[in-house]
Structure 1
Amino acid sequence: MSEGKGPVTLKIILIGNSGVGKSSFMNRYVNHRFTNMYRATIGTDFLCKTVNMDGDTVNLQIWDTAGTERFQSLGTPLYRGAHCCMLVFDVTSKDSFSALEVWRKEFLVQGEPQDPSDFPFIVLGNKTDLSNREVSGKKALQWCEEIGAEYFEGSAKEDLDVEKPFVRAAQRGLQQYKKHTLENTGHFQITCKQPTETRNTCEC
């Protein structure tokens, strides 16, 4: 890094209804893998990926939270200390898109960001490879403009435009980190170590 400091650790949270593809998008980005076998996330899951961002070495902690009501409360404590939040929906499901406002408000309440009006949200529409689309890009973009979020869409299954939203989340998260450094705040964080192998995993 330009200031001679160690890597920056950023916490990126993925939230949204169950079945929209949060885990699939995360796994496709980090591990370059996709499976058609659906397994609901129980509580939370997370992966790490190290990237270079504007001269900074950044360790991304990407958290995938459960989208079902049964496990929803388990994820809310982990909202705290996040640097960027990705709101994920399924473009073939109007209900999953309509639910994003509830998810966003819950994040702002439970996550307690230092400046809620300036906190970065990335909205991500998944499953664009399917033909039975119910939410247009225009409609999603209009809502994003209303709440000050940025919009991306793609397909985890077809590996279509998967990297772009995460790169942008890292950029916005880094800006948030530099503006509101979380050092010595007592927020819950996990240190990620990159193994000697080329694949990205975490030793926690």
Structure 2
Amino acid sequence: MSQTEDIAELPPPIGVSDLGDRDLIANRLGAVHGFAWLMIQGNRYVTLLFGVNATVMLKAKVMLLGDMGVGKTSIMYRLVYDRFSGDYRTMFGVEILTHDVALNIDNGRKIMRFALWDTDGDFSTQIFDSVYLVGAMSAIIVSDATRPQTITRMIELATAFDTKFPGKPFKAVINKADLLQPNRQMYGLADLQNVSFVSAKTGWGLAETATDLAGQLYRKSLSSTP
């Protein structure tokens, strides 16, 4: 039985849909030696993507916040499925997907599992009064490089998140950087270091953003351990 046929008999991993993603997984399995379908601490398929020594060490609820149309869903789908579509429908409420981030720690590879909560941008700062924020450990706060007013909202949301969850890490990202050549000065953000420029369309900057956020969460978990 071929590797692809083996995969077809298994349920899809967390964050993988039935929309052709199994072919991508099958290609990865065939291309990388030593990876296998195993159960690691109750988490499926971690070794497929990250190797036999990889284990999920921490799970974090990460909110995706920002105005409608800034690309929150596109960013989530780029992270989870590594694909982009300009035809996502406006979402009402919340959508949740998981995304694993590999960290090289202590001569081994550890996995931070994000539970990404993509929220309806129409909530504005009222999101902080909703049940969706319960248990949040972090946030990716998104704005649109082509719409300066969304950057103002991004700053408002970042301030509100920091007030609601003092000390919890977040990343403020300006999406659609592929359409411009933006910099902090042009948006009056020269003094804000926790801002990154990204592109959901090309994927530029998103892996680095996720890895940086996972690293911050890991370091925070160490500082809070007795």
Q: Is TM more than 0.5 here? A: yes
2:125–2:160 Cα contact (<8 Å) kept: no
- Structure 2 gaps of 5+ residues are 1-40, 42-54
Distance 2:124 2:161 in 1: 17
Secondary structure (helix, strand or coil) at the match of 1:7 reads: strand
Kept in 2: contact 1:51–1:57 (CA 8 A): yes
Separation in 2 of the partners of 1:73 and 1:151?
Answer: 21
Q: Aligned equivalents of 1:70 and 1:97: distance in 2?
A: 13
Shift of 1:75: 8.0
Q: Alignment partner for residue 137 of structure 1, among 172, 184, 191? A: 184
The CA distance in 2 between the partners of 1:52 and 1:179, in whole Å, is 20
What are the within-5 Å matches in structure 2 for residues 134-173 of structure 1?
A: 136-138=183-185, 139=187, 141-145=189-193, 150-173=194-217
CA deviation after TM superposition for structure 1 residue 175, in Å: 2.2
**Match of 1:8, SS?**
strand
Tell me how far 1:47 sits from its aligned partner: 1.2
Deviation at 1:59, TM superposition (A): 1.5
Tell me what 1:78 maps to. 132
Identity %: 25
- Which of 103, 122, 147 is residue 171 of structure 2 equivalent to? 122
Contact 2:100/2:111, CA 8 A, preserved across alignment: yes
Paired residues of 1:84 and 1:172 also in contact (CA < 8 A): no
Alignment of 1:30-41 (within 5 A): 30-41=80-91
Q: CA deviation at 1:95?
A: 0.3
Aligned residue among 48, 68, 71 for 1:21: 71
Structure 1: where are the runs of 5+ without partners? 182-204
How many Å separate the matches in 1 of 2:192 and 2:75? 20
CA distance in 2, matches of 1:69, 1:105: 16
Q: Scaled by the length of structure 1, what TM-score is found?
A: 0.70
The alpha carbon displacement at 1:140 in A equals 5.8
Q: 1:142 is aligned with what amino acid?
A: A
How much does 1:51 deviate?
3.0
Matched, 1:60 2:108: no
Contact 1:76–1:107 (Cα < 8 Å) also in 2:
no
Kept after mapping to 2: 8 A contact 1:13/1:62: yes
TM-score by length of 2: 0.64
Counterpart residue type for residue 91 of structure 2: T
Residue 141 of structure 1, CA deviation: 4.2
Aligned match of 1:187: none
Larger radius of gyration: 2
Separation in 2 of the partners of 1:161 and 1:41?
24
Deviation at 1:123, TM superposition (A): 1.2
Q: Which residue of 2 aligns with 1:174?
A: 218
Distance in 2 of aligned mates of 1:163 and 1:15: 18
**Range moving further from structure 2, 17-26 or 96-105:** 96-105
Distance 1:85 1:70 in 2: 14
